[in-house]
Amino acid sequence: MKLRNTPAAVAAVALLALTATACGGGSDSGSNGDKITVGIKFDQPGLGLKTPDGKYVGFDVDVARYVAKELGYTEDKINFKQAPSAERENLIKNGDVKFIVASYSINDKRKKEVDFAGPYFLAHQDLLVRADDTSITKVEDLNSKKLCSVTGSTSAQNVRDKLAPDADLQQLGGYSECLTGLQNKRVDALTTDDSILAGYASQKEHQGKFKLAGLRMSDENYGIGLKKGDDELRGKINKALEKMVSDGTWEKLVKEHFGPSGYKYEPAPKVQG
Ligand code: GLU
């Protein structure tokens, strides 16, 4: 039977192509056809921010774009999804995102549920207080204070487990909510990574209102979270991260995103194979 060039053959080929696109990547892996979904923060200036006009900006966002490009996805093929601290593991496990780049510290507890590529950045837990506050200068001062952090973060966990177990700790959904509490004097301090706090302190509307305590209370190695056991993806992302450092992009991006806040970033950590 001669199929070539008959209308039926053309239709059959078109149908095949359609089916292949619909199935590509699978719906449970954060990719659908030729698009991928990537988790980022929406309310952390300098790292991951959704602007009022719907743009996504920040260091993590650009790291996500770089990695996606290395995986074969151009900018227009990326769908950004908000990944609040407490939801990151579930978003990955449910296949809602392909990977997450969201100030996501690598630790053993999380590694039981997800895998990490990286690290690609090193931050330290610190405190943000009101500019006129002189009562908090060391970690122990927190035990008599109202402190705000975010549910599901290492910042909150560290306070409860070791830093200041007696502090009155409020846990909210995002750091920007804590910032409002700090401004309104409902809390005395906001604690999370210095990289995040520096971004808030330097926002135009906050200038002169807050200061960082400068206490390096932990090491936070940021990794890219992905589905547990997906060694192929982890290997590809690690390769992309290594390239990002060696081709100078990492340095360019940290300067661009942390330069304006004056945040003194650490050198690029070594990616762990
Ligand atoms: N890096 C810390 C963490 O992964 C704090 C920042 C955050 O909550 O995203 O929990």
Q: Which of 43, 61, 103 to probe ligand 1 with, by most ligand atoms within 8 A of CB?
A: 103
Q: 27-123+220-261: what fold? A: D-Maltodextrin-Binding Protein; domain 2 (3.40.190)
**Residues 88-142: tens digit of each pLDDT:** 999 999 999 999 999 999 999 999 999 999 999 999 999 999 999 999 999 999 9
Pairing, β 210-212 against β 125-130: antiparallel
> Residue range 53-75: average pLDDT?
97
104 Cα nearest atom in ligand 1? 4
User: How big is the chain by its Cα radius of gyration, in Å?
Assistant: 21
Query: What pTM value is reported for the model?
Result: 0.89
- Ligand 1 neighbours, Cβ below 6 Å, are 85, 102-105, 150, 153-155, 192-193, 220
**Residues 161-215: tens digit of each pLDDT:** 999 999 999 999 999 999 999 999 999 999 999 999 999 999 999 999 999 999 9
Q: At what angle do helices 194-201 and 175-183 cross, to 10 degrees?
A: 50
Percent of the chain with pLDDT over 70: 89
Q: At what angle do helices 231-246 and 59-70 cross, to 10 degrees?
A: 110
Q: Of 36, 44, 100, 25, whose CA–CA distance to 74 is shortest?
A: 36
The rounded distance, in Å, linking the Cα atoms of 220 and 104 is 8
Give the Å distance between the CA of 150 and the centre of ligand 1: 8
DSSP secondary structure string for all residues of 178-201: HHHHHHTTS-SEEEEEHHHHHHHH
Burial (CB count <10 Å: 0-12, 13-18, 19+), residue 38: buried
With H, G, I as helix, E, B as strand and everything else as coil, classify residue 58.
coil
Q: Where are the domains of the chain?
A: 27-123+220-261, 125-212
Give the Å distance between the CA of 136 and the centre of ligand 1: 22
Please state the length of the chain.
273
CATH number, domain 125-212: 3.40.190.10
The rounded distance, in Å, linking the Cα atoms of 101 and 169 is 26
**Residues 208-237: tens digit of each pLDDT:** 999 999 999 999 999 999 999 999 999 999
Same fold, 27-123+220-261 and 125-212: yes
